[in-house]
């Protein structure tokens, strides 16, 4: 097949995301993206997908799909030189990427056409802190309803151990230990009691499926072994305590789910993390309207809370926000690292 010349579109996206990734502390992934940019002419199909992407490539996490495809190849051992690079046996990024792109162009394209899967459980620390606050303010256990659940690992958030400075939350004996850098005021100490948890995803992953587990692990940055081990532990919990997941469109599922009867004395909590960016404007509006309609039906004995861990509209920062009904009060609880490594808590 004839080689394709690099274009500014592909070059710009991979290089721009390399700068973002480096600022977030991953020098290895940044180097992968930069070498991928320089060697992209060896993968004409992949270059065509990147250059011809119909939507905003940043919102679609296109560079992260590219990186995950290469990580998946390295983990599988399908390309010896690439695997050796990931195992730090050499540092010839350009040589390894040139060979992998030429040999596995079709695989990378297939991978990139599938949605991202970053079921990062460290983000649950923000939700856990918010739920402890809700327990104090309402005195009620919670029912969790998640949009964009992926593998549903955050539906098991009550089964994880959280360390917020001197405050311990969740299950103290859990093998999943989440201890983010915590700035600002500490959350209040309170139980996280979940009476029901259910989520929806267009393509939910099954924690019992080895291919699904490998897909999730490939999206974790290769130079962050602590995240990889934490994900493996969360997947083991999910195999023992399978999350309740529905395959479907959230814009159709959510209104029906929120219309179901809510027990007296239980706070219903809708939450999502890094999902809104993948929805079109009309679907974002539909999700917001469904939650607001449910909020209008909320009472003091059947309250509703909405927790959102998402990029701000201009992608300047990631914010954890909460709206509570029946009051309708809205607050930004924290500014956050995209993968939950730190939280600047506003309270």
Question: pLDDT at residue 212 above 60?
Answer: yes
Question: pLDDT at residue 270 above 60?
Answer: yes
Q: What is the mean pLDDT of residues 70-93?
A: 95
Question: pLDDT at residue 261 above 60?
Answer: yes
Query: Helix H segments across the chain?
Result: 8-23, 27-39, 44-51, 62-76, 80-86, 93-103, 105-112, 124-138, 210-218, 225-240, 250-259, 281-296
Q: What is the mean pLDDT of residues 202-207?
A: 92
pLDDT of residue 6: 39
pLDDT of residue 276: 87
Q: What is the mean pLDDT of residues 338-346?
A: 93
Question: pLDDT at residue 10 above 80?
Answer: no
Question: pLDDT at residue 207 above 50?
Answer: yes
Contact assessment for residue 30 and residue 19, using Cβ atoms and an 8 Å cutoff: yes
Radius of gyration of the chain (CA): 21
Q: What is the mean pLDDT of residues 295-300?
A: 97
For residue 315, name the pLDDT band (cuts at 50, 70, 90). Answer: confident
- Judged on CB neighbours under 10 Å (0-12, 13-18, 19+), 75 is middle
Give the three-state DSSP class for 153: helix
Contact assessment for residue 73 and residue 100, using Cβ atoms and an 8 Å cutoff: yes
Q: Which letter does DSSP use for residue 160 in this model?
A: S
Q: Are strands 244-247 and 267-273 parallel, antiparallel or unpaired?
A: unpaired
Question: pLDDT at residue 8 above 50?
Answer: no
Q: How far apart are CA 143 and CA 141, in angstroms?
A: 7
pLDDT digits (tens, 9 = 90+) for 229-239: 999 999 999 99
The whole-model pTM stands at: 0.87
Q: What is the mean pLDDT of residues 220-226?
A: 91
pLDDT of residue 104: 97
Q: What is the mean pLDDT of residues 15-35?
A: 92
For residue 57, name the pLDDT band (cuts at 50, 70, 90). Answer: confident
Question: pLDDT at residue 7 above 60?
Answer: no
Q: Which domains does the chain have, with CATH numbers?
A: 8-112 (no CATH), 121-345 (3.40.50)
pLDDT of residue 231: 95
Give the three-state DSSP class for 99: helix
Output the average pLDDT for the chain. Answer: 92
pLDDT of residue 78: 85
For residue 53, name the pLDDT band (cuts at 50, 70, 90). Answer: confident
For residue 285, name the pLDDT band (cuts at 50, 70, 90). Answer: very high
Contact assessment for residue 45 and residue 90, using Cβ atoms and an 8 Å cutoff: no
Measuring CA to CA, which residue among 138, 129, 120, 35 is closest to residue 85?
A: 35
Q: What is the mean pLDDT of residues 189-212?
A: 95
Q: CA dist 150 to 222, 245, 318, Å?
A: 20, 9, 19
Q: How far apart are CA 171 and CA 56, in angstroms?
A: 40
Question: pLDDT at residue 9 above 50?
Answer: no
- Judged on CB neighbours under 10 Å (0-12, 13-18, 19+), 111 is buried
Q: What is the mean pLDDT of residues 133-140?
A: 97
Q: Which residues contact 120 (CB under 8 A, 6 or more apart)?
A: 227, 231, 273, 274, 339, 340
Q: How far apart are CA 268 and CA 299, in angstroms?
A: 11
Measuring CA to CA, which residue among 326, 327, 328, 346 is closest to residue 336?
A: 346
Partner residues linked to 170 by β-bridges: 161
- The residue with tokens 């274009």 is 7
**Joined tokens for residue 103:** 């040999």
**What is the helix (H) or strand (E) element at residue 272, kind and residue range?**
strand 267-273
**What is the helix (H) or strand (E) element at residue 329, kind and residue range?**
strand 329-336
pLDDT of residue 119: 86
Q: What is the share, in percent, of the chain residues with pLDDT greater than 90?
A: 81
């Amino acid at each position: 097949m004839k080689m394709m010349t690099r274009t500014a579109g592909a070059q710009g996206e991979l290089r721009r995301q390399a700068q973002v990734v480096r600022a977030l502390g991953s020098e290895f992934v940044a180097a992968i993206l930069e070498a991928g940019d320089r060697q992209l002419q060896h993968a004409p199909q992949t270059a065509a997908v990147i250059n011809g992407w119909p939507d905003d490539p940043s919102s679609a996490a296109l560079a992260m799909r590219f990186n995950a495809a290469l990580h998946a190849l390295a983990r599988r051992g399908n390309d010896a030189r690439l695997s050796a690079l990931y195992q730090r046996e050499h540092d010839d990024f350009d040589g390894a990427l040139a060979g992998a792109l030429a040999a596995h162009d079709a695989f990378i394209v297939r991978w990139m056409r599938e949605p991202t899967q970053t079921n990062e459980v460290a983000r649950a620390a923000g939700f856990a802190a918010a739920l402890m606050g809700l327990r104090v303010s309402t005195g009620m256990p919670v029912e969790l309803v998640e949009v964009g659940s992926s593998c549903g690992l955050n539906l098991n958030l009550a089964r994880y151990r959280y360390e917020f400075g001197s405050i311990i939350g969740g299950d103290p004996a859990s093998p999943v230990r989440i201890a983010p850098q915590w700035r600002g005021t500490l959350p209040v100490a309170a139980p996280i009691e979940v009476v029901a948890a259910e989520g929806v995803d267009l393509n939910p992953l099954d924690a019992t499926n080895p291919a699904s587990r490998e897909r999730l692990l490939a999206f974790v940055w290769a130079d962050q072994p602590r995240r990889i081990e934490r994900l493996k532990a969360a997947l083991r919990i999910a195999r023992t305590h399978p999350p309740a997941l529905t395959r479907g469109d959230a814009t159709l599922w959510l209104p029906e789910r929120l219309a179901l009867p809510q027990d007296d004395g239980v706070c219903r909590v809708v939450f999502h993390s890094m999902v809104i960016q993948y929805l079109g404007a009309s679907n974002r509006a539909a999700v917001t309207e469904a939650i607001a309609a449910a909020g209008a039906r909320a009472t003091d004995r059947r309250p509703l809370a909405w927790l959102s861990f998402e990029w701000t509209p201009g992608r300047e920062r990631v914010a954890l926000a909460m709206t509570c009904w029946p009051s309708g009060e809205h607050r930004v609880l924290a500014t956050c690292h995209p993968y939950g490594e730190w939280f600047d808590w506003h309270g």
